[in-house]
């Protein structure tokens, strides 16, 4: 192998060394990185120097760019989401456990997040392995969940009813022309590359099980939300400037820890189409 792969925890996550991702990578190195992603669900790179063109080029080696509909405010480079936290912000992007953008019909395959400016301490990101979350369920629970779908929409994270733009630097569509996006997905997903089953529900986007009311759905959803992020399913990544996190959105959840209130945290994200 041309890269090194160092596991970060027993559950998921690995640091990748021996590669400068700002350069054009040969097919063999791309294949090794992709295999590391499949093996570890989220991979991390340190001390990388990426401008926007290099960030875009690195992303394109793994699939087509996904343009997030709720962050389109007329800016250039629409495929980038600037994840900004300024001193005094009350809210941040990703402050609750979630899988990205699951309200669309085909959610993104993954995301590549690059650190521009981060606090000396705090502002970490946690990831949770949803293969392990599914595997740890009882056989009876698995059989029941295998038959269910859940309804996902984006009403908690965009639109005029959220009031998010008044509480954080990262802005989202809240205009009167915004309309929710809603789709149903299987509660148990089979990963298209590994063939493994994983849990595919998250508290940010899921509202109820298909064919059930919110009240009927909530007790089981609350159990699944808590179960999916048990400590033994997780890893924690401490950011430094120039760090990259590349996660498989099909089999993980993540959360940005909102524990830094008086310093800036600036990141740049691309997403890969599903």
Q: What percent of the chain has pLDDT over 90?
A: 95
| Domain hosting residue 200, numbered range | 4-272
Beta-carbon neighbour count of residue 10 at 10 Å?
12
Residue (of 268, 256, 257, 133) closest to 187 by Cα position: 133
Per-residue model confidence (pLDDT) at position 101: 97
Beta-carbon neighbour count of residue 127 at 10 Å?
28
For 189-206, write each residue's pLDDT tens digit. Answer: 999 999 999 999 999 999
Q: Please state the domain count of the chain.
A: 1
Q: What's the CATH code of the domain at 182? A: 3.60.130.10
Asked if residue 75 has pLDDT above 90, the reply is no
The catalytic residues are 98, 100, 254, 269
Per-residue model confidence (pLDDT) at position 72: 82
The whole-number average pLDDT for the span 77-104 is 95
Asked if residue 241 has pLDDT above 80, the reply is yes
The whole-number average pLDDT for the span 150-175 is 93
DSSP lists the bridge partners of residue 255 as 126
Asked if residue 74 has pLDDT above 80, the reply is no
Per-residue model confidence (pLDDT) at position 1: 78
The whole-number average pLDDT for the span 154-165 is 93
The reported pTM is: 0.96
């Amino acid at each position: 192998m041309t890269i090194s792969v160092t596991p970060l925890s027993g559950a998921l996550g690995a640091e990748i060394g021996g590669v400068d991702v700002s350069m054009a990578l040969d097919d063999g190195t791309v294949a090794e990185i992709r295999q590391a992603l499949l093996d570890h669900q989220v991979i991390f790179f340190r001390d990388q120097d990426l401008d926007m063109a290099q960030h875009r080029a690195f992303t394109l080696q793994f699939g087509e760019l996904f343009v997030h509909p709720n962050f389109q405010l007329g800016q250039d480079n629409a495929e980038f989401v600037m994840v900004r936290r300024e001193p005094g912000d009350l809210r941040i992007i990703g402050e609750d456990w979630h899988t990205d953008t699951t309200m669309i019909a085909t959610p993104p395959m993954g995301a590549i997040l690059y650190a521009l400016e981060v606090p000396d301490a705090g502002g970490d990101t946690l990831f949770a392995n949803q293969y392990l979350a599914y595997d740890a369920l009882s056989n009876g629970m698995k059989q029941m969940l295998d038959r269910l779908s859940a309804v996902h929409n984006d009403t908690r994270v965009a639109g005029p009813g959220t009031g998010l733009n008044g509480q954080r630097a990262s802005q989202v569509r809240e205009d009167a022309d915004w309309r929710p996006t809603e789709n149903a997905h299987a509660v148990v997903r089979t990963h298209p590359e590994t063939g493994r089953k994983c849990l595919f529900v998250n508290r940010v986007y899921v509202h109820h099980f298909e064919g059930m009311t919110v009240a009927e759905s909530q007790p089981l959803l609350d159990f699944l939300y808590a179960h999916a992020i048990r400590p033994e399913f997780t890893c924690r990544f401490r950011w430094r400037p120039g760090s990259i996190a590349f996660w498989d959105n099909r089999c993980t959840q993540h959360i940005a820890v909102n524990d830094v209130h008086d310093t800036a945290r600036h990141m740049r994200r691309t997403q890969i189409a599903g």
